[in-house]
Amino acid sequence: MKKIVTLCLICASAAISWAQVGIGTTNPQEALHIAGNDGLLRIDGLNSTNNSKNMGGADMYNVVVDADGNLKLSEVSGELSSQSGVSSPVVLQTASDSGMNSNELYTETFTLNQKALVVVTYYISMEFESYDGSAKVDDGRAKIAHNYWYLGDGVTADTTKSYGMTSSVYFSSNTDTASGYIYNSRSVTIPLDAGTYSIHLNGAVYGGGLTSDAAFRVTFGDLDRLDIHAIYL
């Protein structure tokens, strides 16, 4: 008799371990099956009282799952950085024969807590002058200024791929009508995994590599702005 009782307990334990739980249904199809048109699942740990990522109100918040199958609230999408990046204007000269020259203007670092679409928008002012800065451009030759950025790991830029390239072509043979700033501006959206990154904004100047008479300089960043937004997925 003792052996029979033991066998029955083992069978009962196995039945419980394989049982499917139904809420609103007597025929559950999964380990947990919540039936009905309004079969919601409530987790108090995700509400606005217990979770700082839930701002309450009428808004809805995304729930994501990690590699271990744990549910949690998604990071709140929004602005990561919005500020002037150039602490003081940066002067960049062409090569002495007006050939190409480039340099990094500034770096901005940010951190993502989960995978996101990152929107990077910049604008930066430029002022074109003669090579030594003593006069405005008046030779009638085309002057080109580029801006673009590299993505980095928070310290070092990956220079194998550039983003946000935009260019302005400037020429003038009458300095009486040339006034104000010229701007380069661009917005780029890229997907990134969680981690720390950096934006390395660069400038480049080019006059065609003609002669030393065509050489010039550009002052970048009397006015500038870099906005970084994250749309968490």
Alpha-carbon distances, residue 96 vs 100, 126, 211, 214 (angstroms): 10, 20, 8, 9
With contact defined as beta carbons under 8 Å apart, do 20 and 30 qualify?
Answer: yes
The domains found in the chain, sorted by start residue, are 2-73 (no CATH), 78-232 (2.60.120)
Rounded to two decimals, the pTM is: 0.77
Residue 60: the pLDDT is 78
DSSP 41-69: ---GGGSTTT-TT---TT----EEE-TTS
Query: Tens-digit pLDDT profile for the chain (233 aa)?
Result: 455 444 444 444 444 556 788 888 888 888 888 888 876 778 888 888 888 878 888 877 778 888 888 888 878 888 999 999 888 999 999 999 999 999 999 999 999 989 999 999 999 999 999 999 988 888 888 899 999 999 999 999 999 999 999 999 998 887 665 667 899 999 999 999 999 999 999 999 999 877 788 899 999 999 999 999 999 87
Alpha-carbon distances, residue 110 vs 83, 87, 133, 147, 161 (angstroms): 13, 18, 35, 20, 19
With contact defined as beta carbons under 8 Å apart, do 44 and 50 qualify?
Answer: yes
- SS3 state of residue 106: strand
In 3D space, the residue among 160, 146, 53, 157 whose CA is nearest the CA of residue 109 turns out to be 157
Residue 102: the pLDDT is 96
Residue 3: the pLDDT is 52
Residue 14: the pLDDT is 46
